[in-house]
Amino acid sequence: MSTQILFEHPLNEKMRTWLRIEFLIQQLESSLPVENTSKALHFFRNVGDLLDVFERGEIRTDILKELERQQRKLLSWAEVPGVDMQRIDSLRSQLKEHGSLLMAAPRLGQALREDRLIALVRQRLSIPGGCCSFDLPTLHIWLYSPQAQRDAQINQWLASLQPLKQSLNLVLDIIRNSAPFRKQTSLNGFYQDNGDDADLLRLKLDLSCQLYPQVSGHKSRFAIRFLPLDSENGVIPERLDFELACC
Protein backbone atom coordinates (compact mmCIF):
# COMPACT_ATOMS: atom_id res chain seq x y z
CA MET A 1 0.00 0.00 0.00
CA SER A 2 1.45 3.39 -1.00
CA THR A 3 1.96 6.20 1.51
CA GLN A 4 0.68 9.64 0.60
CA ILE A 5 2.30 12.77 2.00
CA LEU A 6 0.25 15.91 2.52
CA PHE A 7 2.03 19.21 1.82
CA GLU A 8 0.42 22.54 2.68
CA HIS A 9 1.55 25.86 1.25
CA PRO A 10 0.16 29.27 2.33
CA LEU A 11 -0.63 31.77 -0.44
CA ASN A 12 -0.56 34.90 1.75
CA GLU A 13 1.22 36.24 4.84
CA LYS A 14 -1.83 35.83 7.09
CA MET A 15 -2.08 32.09 6.36
CA ARG A 16 1.70 31.68 6.71
CA THR A 17 1.49 33.13 10.26
CA TRP A 18 -1.53 30.97 11.19
CA LEU A 19 0.16 27.76 10.07
CA ARG A 20 3.27 28.68 12.08
CA ILE A 21 1.18 29.31 15.22
CA GLU A 22 -0.65 25.99 14.73
CA PHE A 23 2.68 24.18 14.28
CA LEU A 24 4.23 25.78 17.40
CA ILE A 25 1.22 24.97 19.60
CA GLN A 26 1.35 21.36 18.36
CA GLN A 27 5.06 21.27 19.23
CA LEU A 28 4.33 22.62 22.72
CA GLU A 29 1.74 19.90 23.33
CA SER A 30 4.01 17.16 21.93
CA SER A 31 6.63 17.88 24.62
CA LEU A 32 4.18 17.12 27.46
CA PRO A 33 4.60 15.97 30.15
CA VAL A 34 7.77 17.99 30.76
CA GLU A 35 9.76 15.53 32.85
CA ASN A 36 13.40 16.18 31.92
CA THR A 37 15.77 18.87 30.59
CA SER A 38 15.45 17.99 26.89
CA LYS A 39 11.64 18.14 27.00
CA ALA A 40 11.78 21.37 29.01
CA LEU A 41 14.10 23.03 26.47
CA HIS A 42 11.89 21.85 23.60
CA PHE A 43 8.87 23.32 25.40
CA PHE A 44 10.49 26.68 26.29
CA ARG A 45 12.05 27.11 22.83
CA ASN A 46 8.60 26.75 21.25
CA VAL A 47 7.10 29.17 23.80
CA GLY A 48 9.79 31.70 22.82
CA ASP A 49 9.15 31.19 19.09
CA LEU A 50 5.40 31.60 19.66
CA LEU A 51 5.91 34.88 21.52
CA ASP A 52 8.16 36.10 18.66
CA VAL A 53 5.38 35.30 16.16
CA PHE A 54 2.84 37.15 18.35
CA GLU A 55 4.98 40.31 18.08
CA ARG A 56 4.39 40.46 14.32
CA GLY A 57 1.17 41.79 12.85
CA GLU A 58 -2.36 42.02 14.16
CA ILE A 59 -2.96 38.32 14.73
CA ARG A 60 -6.04 38.62 16.93
CA THR A 61 -7.63 41.20 14.57
CA ASP A 62 -6.96 39.01 11.51
CA ILE A 63 -8.50 35.92 13.13
CA LEU A 64 -11.57 37.90 14.32
CA LYS A 65 -12.04 39.24 10.76
CA GLU A 66 -11.76 35.69 9.40
CA LEU A 67 -14.34 34.40 11.91
CA GLU A 68 -16.75 37.10 10.67
CA ARG A 69 -15.92 36.41 7.00
CA GLN A 70 -16.64 32.70 7.46
CA GLN A 71 -19.97 33.54 9.16
CA ARG A 72 -20.95 35.63 6.11
CA LYS A 73 -19.92 32.84 3.73
CA LEU A 74 -22.05 30.34 5.68
CA LEU A 75 -24.98 32.75 5.52
CA SER A 76 -24.75 32.79 1.70
CA TRP A 77 -24.63 28.96 1.72
CA ALA A 78 -27.92 28.94 3.60
CA GLU A 79 -29.69 29.98 0.37
CA VAL A 80 -28.44 26.93 -1.57
CA PRO A 81 -31.21 24.31 -2.00
CA GLY A 82 -30.69 21.04 -0.14
CA VAL A 83 -27.92 22.39 2.11
CA ASP A 84 -27.56 20.96 5.65
CA MET A 85 -28.98 23.90 7.64
CA GLN A 86 -28.32 22.20 10.97
CA ARG A 87 -24.60 21.98 10.12
CA ILE A 88 -24.51 25.62 8.98
CA ASP A 89 -26.26 26.88 12.12
CA SER A 90 -23.91 24.82 14.31
CA LEU A 91 -20.81 26.22 12.57
CA ARG A 92 -22.10 29.80 12.69
CA SER A 93 -22.81 29.44 16.38
CA GLN A 94 -19.27 28.06 16.99
CA LEU A 95 -17.71 30.92 14.98
CA LYS A 96 -19.67 33.47 16.98
CA GLU A 97 -18.81 31.86 20.33
CA HIS A 98 -15.07 31.57 19.57
CA GLY A 99 -15.04 35.17 18.33
CA SER A 100 -16.52 36.41 21.63
CA LEU A 101 -14.00 34.40 23.69
CA LEU A 102 -11.05 35.63 21.62
CA MET A 103 -12.21 39.25 21.82
CA ALA A 104 -12.57 39.04 25.61
CA ALA A 105 -9.18 37.33 26.12
CA PRO A 106 -6.15 39.30 27.40
CA ARG A 107 -3.34 40.31 25.01
CA LEU A 108 -1.99 37.27 23.12
CA GLY A 109 0.78 35.57 25.08
CA GLN A 110 0.55 38.00 28.01
CA ALA A 111 0.61 35.26 30.70
CA LEU A 112 3.66 33.67 29.03
CA ARG A 113 5.46 36.98 28.51
CA GLU A 114 5.08 37.98 32.17
CA ASP A 115 6.25 34.67 33.65
CA ARG A 116 9.69 34.96 35.30
CA LEU A 117 10.85 31.38 34.52
CA ILE A 118 9.90 31.67 30.82
CA ALA A 119 11.70 35.03 30.63
CA LEU A 120 14.89 33.60 32.21
CA VAL A 121 14.99 30.58 29.89
CA ARG A 122 14.25 32.72 26.80
CA GLN A 123 17.24 34.94 27.57
CA ARG A 124 19.59 31.93 27.61
CA LEU A 125 18.23 30.00 24.61
CA SER A 126 20.14 32.08 22.05
CA ILE A 127 23.47 31.21 23.76
CA PRO A 128 24.96 27.86 22.60
CA GLY A 129 24.57 25.50 25.57
CA GLY A 130 23.34 28.45 27.61
CA CYS A 131 20.77 26.43 29.55
CA CYS A 132 23.23 24.33 31.60
CA SER A 133 22.37 23.94 35.28
CA PHE A 134 25.10 26.47 36.26
CA ASP A 135 23.62 29.02 33.80
CA LEU A 136 20.01 28.39 34.81
CA PRO A 137 19.79 27.10 38.39
CA THR A 138 16.14 28.26 38.40
CA LEU A 139 15.26 25.80 35.62
CA HIS A 140 17.36 23.10 37.30
CA ILE A 141 15.43 23.34 40.58
CA TRP A 142 12.08 23.62 38.71
CA LEU A 143 12.82 20.27 37.05
CA TYR A 144 13.26 18.73 40.51
CA SER A 145 9.91 20.03 41.75
CA PRO A 146 7.03 17.47 41.89
CA GLN A 147 5.66 16.53 38.45
CA ALA A 148 2.11 17.47 39.51
CA GLN A 149 3.32 20.97 40.42
CA ARG A 150 5.04 21.41 37.03
CA ASP A 151 1.99 20.02 35.19
CA ALA A 152 -0.31 22.49 36.96
CA GLN A 153 1.92 25.44 36.02
CA ILE A 154 2.21 24.33 32.38
CA ASN A 155 -1.56 23.75 32.16
CA GLN A 156 -2.06 27.30 33.38
CA TRP A 157 0.27 28.65 30.66
CA LEU A 158 -1.43 26.59 27.96
CA ALA A 159 -4.91 27.56 29.18
CA SER A 160 -4.03 31.19 28.37
CA LEU A 161 -3.61 30.13 24.70
CA GLN A 162 -6.98 28.33 24.48
CA PRO A 163 -9.11 31.21 23.07
CA LEU A 164 -6.56 31.66 20.25
CA LYS A 165 -6.06 27.92 19.67
CA GLN A 166 -9.80 27.14 19.48
CA SER A 167 -10.54 30.03 17.09
CA LEU A 168 -7.57 29.20 14.88
CA ASN A 169 -8.38 25.47 14.79
CA LEU A 170 -11.95 26.22 13.70
CA VAL A 171 -10.89 28.72 11.01
CA LEU A 172 -8.22 26.38 9.59
CA ASP A 173 -10.60 23.43 9.68
CA ILE A 174 -13.23 25.35 7.67
CA ILE A 175 -10.61 26.59 5.17
CA ARG A 176 -9.07 23.13 4.73
CA ASN A 177 -12.49 21.60 4.08
CA SER A 178 -13.60 24.35 1.69
CA ALA A 179 -12.24 22.62 -1.44
CA PRO A 180 -12.04 18.97 -2.53
CA PHE A 181 -8.83 17.27 -3.70
CA ARG A 182 -8.70 16.89 -7.49
CA LYS A 183 -6.32 14.80 -9.54
CA GLN A 184 -3.82 16.89 -11.53
CA THR A 185 -0.82 16.06 -13.73
CA SER A 186 2.48 17.90 -13.93
CA LEU A 187 4.57 17.83 -17.12
CA ASN A 188 8.33 17.48 -16.66
CA GLY A 189 7.97 18.43 -13.01
CA PHE A 190 6.02 21.67 -13.58
CA TYR A 191 2.40 22.69 -12.93
CA GLN A 192 0.70 26.09 -12.82
CA ASP A 193 -2.85 27.31 -12.32
CA ASN A 194 -5.00 30.20 -11.13
CA GLY A 195 -5.48 30.48 -7.38
CA ASP A 196 -8.98 32.05 -7.51
CA ASP A 197 -8.30 34.01 -4.30
CA ALA A 198 -7.28 30.87 -2.41
CA ASP A 199 -5.52 31.10 0.97
CA LEU A 200 -3.96 27.66 1.04
CA LEU A 201 -2.73 24.95 -1.33
CA ARG A 202 -2.99 21.35 -0.12
CA LEU A 203 -1.14 18.76 -2.14
CA LYS A 204 -0.99 14.97 -1.84
CA LEU A 205 2.01 13.20 -3.30
CA ASP A 206 3.05 9.55 -3.25
CA LEU A 207 6.08 8.88 -1.04
CA SER A 208 7.45 6.40 -3.60
CA CYS A 209 8.02 9.31 -6.05
CA GLN A 210 10.72 10.70 -3.72
CA LEU A 211 9.80 14.19 -4.95
CA TYR A 212 8.78 17.33 -3.06
CA PRO A 213 6.90 20.42 -4.29
CA GLN A 214 8.40 23.92 -4.44
CA VAL A 215 5.55 26.43 -4.66
CA SER A 216 5.77 30.04 -5.84
CA GLY A 217 3.04 32.60 -6.43
CA HIS A 218 0.11 34.04 -4.53
CA LYS A 219 -3.67 33.79 -4.25
CA SER A 220 -4.38 34.69 -7.90
CA ARG A 221 -1.74 32.55 -9.65
CA PHE A 222 0.73 29.90 -8.51
CA ALA A 223 3.30 27.50 -9.93
CA ILE A 224 4.53 24.18 -8.52
CA ARG A 225 7.89 22.69 -9.39
CA PHE A 226 8.55 19.10 -8.32
CA LEU A 227 12.12 18.41 -7.26
CA PRO A 228 13.83 15.11 -6.40
CA LEU A 229 14.79 14.43 -2.78
CA ASP A 230 18.10 13.06 -4.10
CA SER A 231 19.30 16.06 -6.12
CA GLU A 232 22.20 14.07 -7.64
CA ASN A 233 20.47 10.90 -8.87
CA GLY A 234 16.74 11.58 -8.54
CA VAL A 235 14.53 11.39 -11.62
CA ILE A 236 11.64 13.75 -12.47
CA PRO A 237 8.99 11.82 -14.46
CA GLU A 238 7.64 13.30 -17.67
CA ARG A 239 4.11 13.02 -16.28
CA LEU A 240 3.39 13.02 -12.56
CA ASP A 241 -0.07 12.54 -11.06
CA PHE A 242 -0.85 14.24 -7.77
CA GLU A 243 -3.88 15.56 -5.89
CA LEU A 244 -4.45 19.25 -5.29
CA ALA A 245 -6.96 21.33 -3.31
CA CYS A 246 -7.05 25.15 -3.58
CA CYS A 247 -8.67 26.25 -0.32
The pLDDT value recorded for residue 239 is 95
Report the CATH number that the domain containing residue 108 is assigned in CATH.
1.10.3900.10
> Are residues 189 and 157 part of one domain?
no
> Are residues 222 and 130 part of one domain?
no
> Does the pLDDT value for residue 135 go beyond 90?
yes
Residue finishing a domain among 149, 177, 205: 177
Within-domain flag for 196:
yes
Range of the domain at 72: 32-177
Residue finishing a domain among 156, 177, 198: 177
Within-domain flag for 22:
no
> Are residues 118 and 166 part of one domain?
yes
Residue range 73-104, pLDDT digits in tens: 888 887 778 777 888 889 999 999 999 999 99
> Are residues 187 and 77 part of one domain?
no
Within-domain flag for 20:
no
> Are residues 203 and 137 part of one domain?
no
CA distance 227 to 216: 13
Residue range 27-76, pLDDT digits in tens: 999 999 999 999 999 999 999 999 999 998 799 999 999 999 999 988 88
> Are residues 187 and 122 part of one domain?
no
Radius of gyration of the chain (CA): 22
The pLDDT value recorded for residue 80 is 79
Query: What residues contact 201, with CB distance under 8 A and at least 6 apart?
Result: 8, 9, 11, 195, 215, 222, 224, 244, 245, 246, 247
> Are residues 242 and 162 part of one domain?
no
Residue finishing a domain among 119, 151, 177: 177
Which element (helix H / strand E) includes 228? Answer: strand 221-228
> Are residues 149 and 89 part of one domain?
yes
Specify the length of the chain in residues. Answer: 247
> Are residues 194 and 102 part of one domain?
no
Q: What is the pTM of this model?
A: 0.92
Residue range 196-212, pLDDT digits in tens: 889 999 999 999 999 99
> Does the pLDDT value for residue 231 go beyond 90?
no
> Does the pLDDT value for residue 16 go beyond 90?
yes
Within-domain flag for 151:
yes
Residue range 152-181, pLDDT digits in tens: 999 999 999 999 999 999 999 999 999 999
Mean pLDDT of 109-113: 95
On whether the CB atoms of residues 168 and 18 are closer than 8 A, the answer is: yes
The pLDDT value recorded for residue 17 is 96
